[in-house]
Chains A and B, each alone.
Chain A
Amino acid sequence: MIYNQEFETLPREVLEALQLSRLKQVVARVYHTVGFYRKAFDEAGVTPEDVNSLDDLSRLPFTCKQNLRDNYPFGLFTVPMSNIVRVHASSGTTGKPTVVGYTKRDIETWAELMARSYAAAGLTSNDIIHNAYGYGLFTGGLGAHYGAEKLGASVIPMSGGSTKKQIMLLQDFGPTAICCTPSYALYLAEAGAEMGVDMKSLRLRVGILGAEPWGERIRTEIEDKLNIVALDIYGLSEVMGPGVSMECAEGRNGLHVFEDHFIVEIIDPVTGEVLPYGETGEMVFTTITKEAFPLIRYRSKDISRLMPEICRCGRTFVRMERVMGRSDDMLIIRGVNVYPSQIESVLMSIEGLEPHYQLIVDREGSLDTLEVQIEISENVFSDEVRALQNLEKRITKDIKDILGVTSKVKLVEPKTLERFEGKAQRVIDKREL
């Protein structure tokens, strides 16, 4: 289902004309109202008048997280505080959080984008949405909430935590959709099963899951354990919050970026060069309708790929592949950009392998080497050496075919690789660069 038929199916040339006119306005506005942008543009030798086509966007300087921190808390807002109706802030693992602000119209835009996202998942005003994203400074809770109300659905503003209560309400209130992180969806499924609740027979039919990276294997597990359709939603608080892009139920292959509000580019994270459609790199977002806190070429650090092919759902917006990793984690091995998550997805596509692996990068002479260590599991173990060697060869070949990099695969004993709480540190780089 398409919430905003007119805008979500604009012919590309009309959409691009709209993007250009909105881009010109926002570029002029930030240049004239925010000292940071004026200085950055001046240093790059560009003025708002230089933006005459969408390609000219690449002449503008990037904005990155550090710039936001430097202007903490409200330095990049383009409107006076009297026009700001809400602020949110990202957790920020170190130091001060990143603060974002919204005008009344920004909140309305955001609510519409979330309503579009729900519609893309097949939800209507008849649905009951259980919102288990955290309410508060985090954009997830309120973002999902306002969108659900905009759609006209019934919202259960559950927020995070209190798992037993969540399971009780899932049974008693009969929500048909749930918003939460993929890992929490799995946790709910397991906790419910432990409580003796048949989690497959709830009325839930759709999960709108996001705020962390996940893959097809987790999707299958969630869909199986909760008997729902699980769809991926993407957003980052700096750009808006959830609802920057959404996977549609019809295509289930990539997330439509709401391009009438955001322009997305893919760049090489090292050189900053813009990459063509289909290539993997860091996503860069420019907001073209936000009033309070517009961002020009914001480096998301999220790695993905853009797919311009028209989707069967009818939306003309480009799709981004689900986020594959963070540009901070990128390795350059013999000139090839490699993300640990890409190697993980190769490993996970092999039946029986467990996701316990480590990458050792080293240098022999002037040549980089990549060793992939994987813990053996009973499912792939064999008493025949040849079978194990074939497994190693197959992994090497799959990595070469998909990533274009030669690796040495080494099977290791179970439980010998370090276990990580939370964020995994998969890479040991022994090179002295």
Chain B
Amino acid sequence: MKVEQISIFLENKPGGLTNVTRVLRDTKINIRALSLADTTDFGVLRLIVDDVAKAREVLKAQGMTVGRTTVVGVEVPDRPGGLYEILELLSRESINVEYMYAFVERSGENAVIIFRFDDTDRAIDILLRNGHAVLPGEKVHGL
């Protein structure tokens, strides 16, 4: 039920993002979702791609610092209160969300939220027990 995310260190300077996306284009790797967290000096680009191993390999070959993290993809009903229910549940169970980002499924009916938890296994367990749609890794990578 886990999703593999890669993260890349980028300095705040022109061309950084362009470089990453060019390398991925050249090797025909598709980006499923992304988020960019930034400070005044640097940013951390987080990507969900269709071929994690290859993406890491080609980016590292370019001399980039590439990390790998386990995140969780949850399908959220596209209606008011959909996200609230999930967050309220997690908060009640004292699960901390380190960060999250959302994208919309191809069919456009549901939103998918990518969560980074402090305790991934327990979070998955709680979400499943409460009937939430935790997406299998292969589904998120191949969305």
Contact = CB atoms under 8 A, between A and B. Distances in A.
Interface of A: 376-378, 381-385, 388-389, 410-416
A216 B30 CA distance: 46
Interface in B19-47: 37-39, 41-42, 44, 46
Contacts of A383: 5, 7, 44, 46, 67, 69, 116
B103 interface: no
Nearest to B42: A411
A416 B37 CA distance: 21
Nearest to B38: A385
A413 B65 contact: yes
Contacts of B7: 381-383
A103 B1 CA distance: 81
A377 B42 CA distance: 14
A375 to B, nearest CB: 8
A385 B66 CA distance: 14
Nearest to A410: B41
Contacts of A416: 11
B63 A415 contact: yes
Summarize A's interface: helix, strand, loop or mixed. loop
Contact of B98 (A376, A384, A413): A384
B10 interface: yes
B37 A413 contact: no
Nearest to A416: B11
A381 B46 CA distance: 13
Contacts of B46: 383
Most buried by B among A377, A384, A410: A384
Interface in B40-60: 41-42, 44, 46
A413 B11 contact: yes
A257 B11 CA distance: 47
B41 to A, nearest CB: 5
9 contacts: A376-B65, A381-B7, A381-B67, A382-B7, A383-B69, A413-B10, A413-B63, A413-B65, A415-B63
Nearest to B7: A383
B87 interface: no
A411 B41 contact: yes
Contacts of A384: 44, 98-99, 116
A389 B64 contact: no
A412 B37 contact: no
A377 B65 CA distance: 6
B67 A413 contact: no
B70 to A, nearest CB: 10
Given A411-B41, A411-B42, A381 B65 contact: yes
Which of A377, A383, A384, A413 has the largest count of B CB atoms less than 10 A from its CB? A383
B63 A414 contact: yes
A413 B64 contact: yes
A413 B99 contact: no
A412 B11 contact: yes
A377 to B, nearest CB: 7
Contacts of A415: 63
A355 to B, nearest CB: 16
Given A385-B44, A413-B9, A378 B66 contact: yes
B42 A414 contact: no
A381 to B, nearest CB: 5
Contacts of A413: 9-11, 16, 63-65
A414 B62 CA distance: 10
Contacts of A377: 65
Contacts of A378: 65-67
A416 to B, nearest CB: 7
A207 B64 CA distance: 38
A384 B46 CA distance: 10
Nearest to B13: A413
